Each structure stands twice: as structure tokens, then as C-alpha cells.
A and B are shown apart, each in its own frame.
Chain A
Amino acid sequence: MSSKHKSRWDTETAEDAAEAARRKAEKEAKKASKLEKARKAEEEAAATAAARRRHEDGERHANQSLTVSDEPPSKRRKVSAEPDDDVATSPKRKKHASNTAGGDKDTGEARLLRFPAPEIKACNSVDDYEPLNRIEEGSYGIVSRARHIASGEVVALKKLKLEGETDGFPITSLREIQTLMAARHANVVNLREVVVGEQLNQVYIVMDFIEHDLKTLLDDMPEPFLQSEVKTLMLQLLSATATMHTNWIMHRDLKTSNLLMNNRGQIKVADFGLARYFGDPCLPLTQLVVTLWYRSPELLLGAQKYGTAIDIWSIGCIFAELILKEPLFQGKSEIDQLSKIFELMGVPTDEEWPGWRRLPNSKSLRFPRTKQTTGHLLRSKFPLLTSNGVSLLASLLSLDPSKRITAEEALKHAYFRDDPKPKSEAMFPTFPSKAGQEKRRRLNSPSAPMRGDAPQLFGEVGLAGRSGLFAGLDEEEVGGGFSLKVH
């Protein structure tokens, strides 16, 4: 083998040496196999003996416990240190186990995982933070920028509105804190801690401060994001969503103003004010979730049971918004929203979405159904998007929630493998931070729904405007609702 660049003489000697080594190895292998055989036989004998014993005094053995383990164990003690043993065994054996528990002295000792445990400790005081400036105020709370006095780090401080609460700490805020604690991900805003003030109703959530939100950024950018940038952002959003969904968390209010972005090309999902845990099979949940423009057709049609597909719809809307630089469906009311959706995506046929006609709100609505009104028009709406991009958008915006793509599947979509490749985070442009003391501006999108009764829809969905899509961008009144928005 190694003879090519060596002399013949060397080859001979090498071969000799190899031969010698082989013989030696053979001998050793024989020896080892002999030993192994003996050991196996011993082991087998012990095992069968143990099995027999166990079988014989099954009941007695079952009743024997650690608490009574001081009975003479001589009969059942084993001579070998084989790992086949029960917990209910002699105290000597137990001692042996305890001796070796820490290290790996016993070769049979498995290496066990250790789980870290957070401490049980009380909240810190809000006085640890020095307020800087107010960022945003909504019905769910006030967000301000603050500096941690000890470390000097700048954070976002969200004060929960608890004044009017009659039922104690609101269940929505409990969900917000619980889900935010559970959904740790590079693209989910980091919850640092919860701090409190003197009064029992002064509770603040401390989060990392992030410079921008995507909505403001899109509004202020002269040009939309490049395709490569859109891909990176979408991958981040989908991966955060996939993590949330595998942890049984639904966000229920994904929209561009809830996506924060730092100057290092990373977006962070924020505002878990409507998030909650879900189960399988899903239970009837409130329909009043997700900001209108990002609300999925099954919610608009009044489905009482819904799942993670509602988040995926919102992601589809965000995807389109990243390309268009403006929200995709800007409905003025629930009915208007539905008609805008159907204008672009087509009125669903019974094959496309079986059972959609049975949804509560769809009974009271009349839809024109001709050949012209079915099938989506994404291709003409997004002429510059690759065909894979259109296919991803279409599967994110699938009208039937059961046919909608999942976040996991979407991450593997061919669109992300097409050229241009997703841009590296480090190569992202930076933007001037508007987080300073700028005057606040009116929100240009409707806010998240408030608690209350689900709307009943009546009337006719006019699709007359199917030719002239998105005629005007109306200034929406800011109602309640809260959005993390940096101005």
C-alpha cells in the first residue's frame, strides 16, 4: 500500500512488520473473544438467575421497597458488578451506586443530562431602571425606553394597564408573560424580567430594546427591501413562528408593526398581548384576534375553532407587504376585508375549501361566483416575483386553513433556495434609529381587536372592485390596541 514511493527493501520490511502486527492482533483478538465469551456466559447465568428469582418471588419482590431494604440481602446479592439490577436491592449495592454516582468510575454508569433550574425569587423593583423616553401607548400598556442603572443597558419597559381590572391580574397579561418566557428564540424579543412598583398594580415587563419596527421602516424606506433581504426576513419570521408553534403557542397578532428590527439585520417578533397556548384538538377560542388587515378568512367567516394557520395567513400578508411596501389587504371593515381577500385570492369553491359555506358568517353573506371570481390573481399582482415566490405566497395565503402551509414546511420552500440567495444578516443596510425623542405619529394601520363580542357579518360582499384593487389607502382611526412602534 505505502510501497509506491519507497524502495523495495523498505517495502519488504514494512510488509514484514505488518505481518507481525497482524499476527499479534489476531492473538489478542482470540484472547479477547475468549474473555468476552466467559464474561457473557457469566452475565447470562446471572441474568437468567435473576429472572428466575424475580419470577419465583414476584409478589414478594414487588412488595420489597427501599424503605424496608434493610432485610438481609445475601441471597440476591450478585458478585459481579453487572448493571442488571433493580432499585429495590441491597443497601450495599445502593451505597456502591452512590459512590460512583458523581463520576464515571463505573463504566456502566450512564451519562445523564442535568437540567438547569431557575430560582424562585421575587420581582425586582422598577426603581432599578431610569426612564428615558416614552415609545408608544396603547390600550394594553405604555412602552418606554429605560436604562438599567446597574448595567447601563438600554431596555424597553412595558407598563401593564391594570387600573381598571376587577378580576385581578388579567388572563391576557398572564398569557403574554408566560408565552414570552416560553418562546425563547433569536427572532423573538427577549424578555429580561418582570419588575414591579410600590403599588400592587404597577407591573412592568422588561424587554430588550430594539431600534425599529418593520412598519415604520417600510414607511420611511425610499425603496422596498431587495429580494435577498425579503428572503432573510421571511426565514427569520418563519423560524420564530415555527418555534412558537412547536411550543404550542399561537401569536394571534402578527403584523409588521409587531415585528421589531435591529440594526444587525435581525427581526424580532414582539407583542404577545394576544398570544396563548393552544391544544390539539383545538378548542373554541375567541374570534376577536389578529389585526383586521392580517386576519385570515376563517376568522372573518366566524370559525370558532382555529389553529396555527391564522398566524401563517398573517405571515403571508407580511410577505406581500415586504414586497409591496404597503399592506396587502387594507379593509375598512370585516366585510370589506373579506371582499378584498376574495378579490385577490378568488371566491373559494367547494373543492378549494370544503365546508367553508358552513362557517357561521358565510351563511349571511352572498358571493358572486362566476369563472372570473375564482382562482387567485397573485401572478399579476406580483409581476416581479419568481414563480417559486408566487407559489410560496399562494400557499401561505391558501383560503382553506387546512391546506395552508405550516411554518416548518415553508422554511424548506424552494423559494429560499432560488437565486438571489438570502442575504447574510451582517450585510443588511442600517437605518438611522428613530428611537430617540421624536414626536409620535398617527398609526396607519388598524389596531388589534379589543376583547368583546365577535362581529356578526351581514350583507353582500361586493367584488366590483376586483379590477381596481386597493383604490385608496384610508387613514384608519387608532382605536384601542397596542403596538410596539418606535418613532
Chain B
Amino acid sequence: MVTIFTAPLATPAQLSTSPSQLSGIPEPLEQKLRLVACRLIQAAGILMELPQPTISTAIVLLQRYYLTTSLPSSPLLQTCLASLYLSSKLTEHPQKPRDLINIFKYLLSPASPLHPPHLLPSENTENQEDQAKTKKSTSKKHLYYVSEGDYTALKSLLLSTEARILRSLGFNTTVNLPYTLAFNYLQSLGVLTHTSSPPPPAEAPSAPSNPLQNEKLVSTTFAYLTDLLSSPSQVYLTHHPHELAVAGIYLAARDHSVKLPERWWEVWDVERETLGFLVVVMRGGTYIGDKKVWIVEEGVFEELDDGEVVAIGADSVERETERLRNL
């Protein structure tokens, strides 16, 4: 039964032994790459002017997919492309593979804000193999545009990865996001005064009359829920949407000092235990914390004082795996 309240959830066994770790990828590296995937999808979605539900759906699909498939067997770039492509269809905002491929190319190019400023293409080549060196020394054009050959190759990878995602999810592509529920709950809590909802119940605290406040409350709730997508704890795979919605509202209400009725979360069948856990997760932030993450397609993993450089290419991942194993 599919309802707006339930989501397919991961089993403890699936979470404790991820296929990527079984294939030799250390857990920290897997988390890092998953975070980078979320960032890439989010950035691409914004550039393509896709609504947040489409972007969030893509991220949840990707997280579910990597529960059953390992990173080496389905490299990051094609998986990001495929999950965004699939979610654009699922949420009725279909996109062309070519547009997606171009946008991702831009995001991974030196012109992108995701590209580390200290790693200019010329410096980058020094770390590359000889073959790449000769190629790059002649021209840097290929860093900025997708050649027809690359496009064809990437498109066929995109389409086959899409089919693999669908298969490994058993075609159960329903992603119930908590945004709508959160908005609904805020309305029923009577804290959004300018809506046409019935007047708040008598015992509810006086609602803020400032419409700006309302807007902030909603956007903060949504921001918490969106940030949660890139949390290393992957709670979108372990918790139902109503639980996430309640946790988002709880934190947003606290940020804006909005008082809510006693034990209001129980109205939506959320245990205090669960709420407490989710609040900790939400405040825990991402794996990298407030540090900047720069993303390159091929290259080195590098820890900087204020950030980190993460490469998504299959070769780089392999090298990094090797390096971490030797530590």
C-alpha cells in the first residue's frame, strides 16, 4: 500500500553492510562521495530551475540505489545524472539528457563555483597521467564542453544506469517527501495565520500575527528538511516522512521562538524518542560540517584548512581507496 505517510525503508542489514563497503570502499570515503553526489544533484537542479521536490526525489533515489549497488559498479557521475533524469520524469518535469549532461559538465569544469580555486587546470595536469598531460597541454577546451562522442557515451551510460536504478528499487519509485506534510502540520498547529485554515484550537498558544514570521517558519522548516538530505545518517532511508516533517517543524519553531502546544508531535504519531533522535541528526550537519567542499571530476582528494577537494572519477576513487587502506 502506498500512502503519503509511508516510505520504503532500509533494513538494518542493508544499512550496516553497504555494497560499497563490501567492495572495499572505506566508510568515510563512501560518506564523502555520497555527500558530493547530493551537492552535485542539488546544484544541477538549481541551475536547471527544477523544483526542490524533483531535486530531493533524485537524492533519495540515489541513496536508495546505493543501498543495493556499490560505488565501483555504478560510478558517481552517471548515477547522479540518471537519478536526476529519472526524478525529473517521476515528478512531471522531464528534462533532456543533453541538458543534464551539459549542466554537469559545467559544474565539474574550472568555471564552476564548485571547482577549487587553488587548483587551476594547468596545475591540475601535473598530477595526471602522461596521456592526460599531452592532451591537456594542447588544449583545455574539453574541460568546458561536451564533445559529441562524450555525449553519446555518457547518454548511453545515463540510460542504462536509469534502468539499473529502477530494477534495484523494484520499480517502487514512490518518494514521499515531508515538505507537504510539514506545511500541513504547520497549518493545523495554527501558527500560519494568513492561511484559510480554521482558527487554532483554544489551547493553542497565541499565533504570531506577523506574516513574515510565518514565511520564515515555513522556509526554515523546509531548509532543515532539505539539509537533512545530505546528512551522513541517511534518515530519509530510515524514517517516514511524517517523522521528518515533525522534526523539521520542531527545530524551526525553536529557532523562531514560536511556542507550540504540549506534546504536539504525538498528534502526528511521532514518538518523543524518534523526534529527539532526528533533532540530533538535523543539528549534526553534514559529514564535512561547515567546511567547503570542492568537487573535481578527476584528480586528488585533498584536505585543506577550510575545506576539502573531492574527486568523483572512478580512477580517483580507486586511488583514494588505496591510499586510505595504506594509512
Partner-B contacts on A (CB < 8 A): 54, 58-59, 62, 65-67, 83-85, 87-88, 94, 97-98, 101, 110, 112-123, 167-169, 171, 174, 177-178, 181-182, 184, 193-194, 196, 200-201, 203, 276-277
Alpha-carbon distance A169/B85, docked complex (angstroms): 10
**A84 in contact with B262 given A97-B273, A123-B167, A277-B92 (CB within 8 Å):** yes
Chain A residues with Cβ below 8 Å from B92 are 276-277
**A122 in contact with B283 given A178-B173, A200-B163 (CB within 8 Å):** no
Q: How far is the CB of A151 from chain B (nearest CB, A)?
A: 18
Shortest 6 CB-CB contacts between residues of A and residues of B:
A117-B9, A194-B171, A113-B269, A200-B163, A110-B266, A112-B269
Residue of A with least CB distance to B2: A182
Across the interface, do A200 and B272 meet the contact criterion of CB distance under 8 Å?
no
Across the interface, do A112 and B276 meet the contact criterion of CB distance under 8 Å?
no
Across the interface, do B276 and A66 meet the contact criterion of CB distance under 8 Å?
yes
Across the interface, do A122 and B262 meet the contact criterion of CB distance under 8 Å?
no
Across the interface, do B279 and A66 meet the contact criterion of CB distance under 8 Å?
yes
Alpha-carbon distance A62/B263, docked complex (angstroms): 16
Alpha-carbon distance A8/B259, docked complex (angstroms): 65
Across the interface, do A62 and B1 meet the contact criterion of CB distance under 8 Å?
no
Across the interface, do A122 and B2 meet the contact criterion of CB distance under 8 Å?
no
Across the interface, do A87 and B276 meet the contact criterion of CB distance under 8 Å?
yes
Q: What are 10 of the A-B contact pairs (CB < 8 Å)?
A: A62-B254, A62-B257, A67-B284, A101-B272, A115-B269, A117-B9, A120-B68, A120-B172, A169-B166, A178-B174
> Contacting A101 at CB < 8 Å: which of B94, B259, B271?
B271
Interface residues of B in 1-30 (CB under 8 A from A): 1-3, 5-11, 14
> Contacting A115 at CB < 8 Å: which of B171, B240, B265?
B240
Q: How far is the CB of A67 from chain B (nearest CB, A)?
A: 5
Q: How far is the CB of B213 from chain A (nearest CB, A)?
A: 14
Across the interface, do B171 and A119 meet the contact criterion of CB distance under 8 Å?
no
> Contacting A65 at CB < 8 Å: which of B86, B159, B265, B279?
B279
Residue of A with least CB distance to B163: A200
Across the interface, do B167 and A174 meet the contact criterion of CB distance under 8 Å?
no
> Contacting A118 at CB < 8 Å: which of B6, B86, B167, B263?
B6
Chain B residues with Cβ below 8 Å from A181 are 2, 172, 174
CB of B162 within 8 A of chain A? yes
CB of B89 within 8 A of chain A? yes
Interface residues of B in 149-178 (CB under 8 A from A): 158-160, 162-164, 166-174
Interface centre among A54, A58, A121, A203 (most CB of B within 10 A): A121
Interface residues of B in 247-277 (CB under 8 A from A): 250, 254-255, 257, 259, 262-263, 265-266, 269-273, 275-276
Chain B residues with Cβ below 8 Å from A101 are 271-273
Across the interface, do A87 and B279 meet the contact criterion of CB distance under 8 Å?
yes
Across the interface, do B172 and A118 meet the contact criterion of CB distance under 8 Å?
yes
CB of B105 within 8 A of chain A? no
Contacts A65-B254, A167-B97, A169-B86 aside, 18 further interface pairs with beta carbons under 8 A come to A54-B259, A85-B262, A87-B276, A94-B272, A94-B276, A97-B272, A115-B3, A115-B240, A120-B9, A122-B168, A122-B170, A168-B85, A168-B86, A169-B89, A169-B166, A177-B173, A181-B174, A200-B160
Across the interface, do A98 and B6 meet the contact criterion of CB distance under 8 Å?
no
- Say which size band chain B's interface belongs to: 35 or more
**A196 in contact with B167 given A65-B279, A87-B275 (CB within 8 Å):** yes
Q: How far is the CB of B311 from chain A (nearest CB, A)?
A: 27
**A168 in contact with B158 given A54-B259, A65-B283, A83-B262 (CB within 8 Å):** yes
Q: How far is the CB of A158 from chain B (nearest CB, A)?
A: 13
Chain B residues with Cβ below 8 Å from A112 are 266, 269-271
Across the interface, do B90 and A178 meet the contact criterion of CB distance under 8 Å?
yes
CB of B55 within 8 A of chain A? no
Across the interface, do A120 and B167 meet the contact criterion of CB distance under 8 Å?
no
Interface residues of B in 224-264 (CB under 8 A from A): 237, 240, 242, 250, 254-255, 257, 259, 262-263
Residue of B with least CB distance to A179: B2
Interface centre among B90, B94, B158 (most CB of A within 10 A): B90
CB of B280 within 8 A of chain A? yes
CB of B64 within 8 A of chain A? yes
Residue of B with least CB distance to A248: B4
CB of B189 within 8 A of chain A? no
Alpha-carbon distance A120/B175, docked complex (angstroms): 12
**A123 in contact with B171 given A65-B283, A112-B269, A116-B6 (CB within 8 Å):** yes
Across the interface, do B163 and A168 meet the contact criterion of CB distance under 8 Å?
yes
Alpha-carbon distance A118/B174, docked complex (angstroms): 11
> Contacting B169 at CB < 8 Å: which of A67, A115, A120, A168?
A120
Across the interface, do A87 and B283 meet the contact criterion of CB distance under 8 Å?
no
Chain A residues with Cβ below 8 Å from B174 are 178, 181-182
**A115 in contact with B279 given A194-B171, A200-B164 (CB within 8 Å):** no
Alpha-carbon distance A212/B275, docked complex (angstroms): 50
Q: How far is the CB of A105 from chain B (nearest CB, A)?
A: 14
Residue of B with least CB distance to A58: B257
Chain A residues with Cβ below 8 Å from B275 are 87
> Contacting A87 at CB < 8 Å: which of B2, B64, B250?
B250
CB of B80 within 8 A of chain A? no
Residue of A with least CB distance to B279: A66
Chain B residues with Cβ below 8 Å from A277 are 92
Across the interface, do A62 and B255 meet the contact criterion of CB distance under 8 Å?
yes
Q: How far is the CB of B263 from chain A (nearest CB, A)?
A: 6
Chain A residues with Cβ below 8 Å from B158 are 168
Give per-residue flags for B46-69: 1 if the beta carbon is below 8 A from chain A beta carbons, else 0.
000000000000000000100110
Residue of A with least CB distance to B239: A117
Across the interface, do A67 and B162 meet the contact criterion of CB distance under 8 Å?
no
Alpha-carbon distance A114/B269, docked complex (angstroms): 8
Q: How far is the CB of B171 from chain A (nearest CB, A)?
A: 4
Alpha-carbon distance A113/B8, docked complex (angstroms): 17
Q: How far is the CB of B97 from chain A (nearest CB, A)?
A: 7
Across the interface, do B280 and A67 meet the contact criterion of CB distance under 8 Å?
yes
Residue of A with least CB distance to B260: A86
Across the interface, do B97 and A174 meet the contact criterion of CB distance under 8 Å?
no
**A87 in contact with B272 given A110-B266, A174-B89, A177-B171 (CB within 8 Å):** yes
Interface centre among A62, A94, A201 (most CB of B within 10 A): A62
Chain A residues with Cβ below 8 Å from B279 are 65-67, 87
